[in-house]
Amino acid sequence: DADVTQTPRNRITKTGKRIMLECSQTKGHDRMYWYRQDPGLGLQLIYYSFDVKDINKGEISDGYSVSRQAQAKFSLSLESAIPNQTALYFCATSSGELGGGYTFGSGTRLTVV
Amino acid sequence: DAKTTQPPSMDCAEGRAANLPCNHSTISGNEYVYWYRQIHSQGPQYIIHGLKNNETNEMASLIITEDRKSSTLILPHATLRDTAVYYCIVPSGGSNYKLTFGKGTLLTVNP
């Protein structure tokens, strides 16, 4: 099983619909992250959580919300999807150790029509 | 985060060493240099990191200049599967660092 699992892998939704992307990790790490990637660009941080009771906005949080249900689970919601939220979404986890790396999931490809 | 500068693209012949440069002239004394790669639309993959000394692991070597203003990621024997975008990242924030991705270098390994 993958260390970081994202569901769904692909999703097409209509403008105005609410959608939730889910992420779970088996690394036992406290820290989790949601990133967005637009074609040809680097990843941008949407939200991050350093532990279950800690939620922080990243660079591009408008239009998104998150829920940290447990140490292992971190969900991203689009309350009312719009076409410019069409992108590749990645979840990641890290230990928080200085010098420690991030482990990323395989991504969710979201299309808003 | 310290600003990093990487060439937008590079080519390498299969079996040869790939040397990917990164400039980070504003790096602070306690900031690490991280390298990640992203193979076409997959999740980024951690490669290596370093602070001052050169580092080597099973994937690559990282050479950091003595003044720490630049570094080079070396893939000793590039294969076609190493074709990817390589990101050099120098995050601030100590143990609370968050990765910020630029556009990276697209390395194309040619047969």
Number of CB pairs < 8 Å for A and B?
57
Residue of A nearest to B92 (CA): A98
Q: Which pLDDT score, from 0 to 100, does residue B98 have? A: 84
User: Tens of pLDDT along B8-54?
Assistant: 999 999 999 999 999 999 898 888 999 999 998 899 999 999 999 89
A17 pLDDT band, cuts 50/70/90, is very high
Q: Is the peptide bond before A8 cis (omega within 30 degrees of 0)?
A: yes
What's at A55, amino acid-wise?
I
Contact B91, B4 (CB under 8 A): no
Chain A hits for B32, Cβ within 8 Å? 98-99
A39 pLDDT band, cuts 50/70/90, is confident
Q: Which pLDDT score, from 0 to 100, does residue B1 have? A: 65
Per residue, the 3-state secondary structure of A36-100, as one string, reads EECCCCCEEEEEEEEECCEEEECCCCCCEEEEEEECCEEEEEECCCCHHHCEEEEEEEECCCCCC
pLDDT at residue A58 greater than cutoff 90: yes
Cross-chain residue pair A50–B94, CB shorter than 8 Å: no
How is residue A24 written in tokens? 């779970």
User: Tens of pLDDT along B57-105?
Assistant: 999 999 999 999 999 999 999 999 999 999 999 987 777 788 888 889 9
**C-alpha of B97 from chain center:** 17
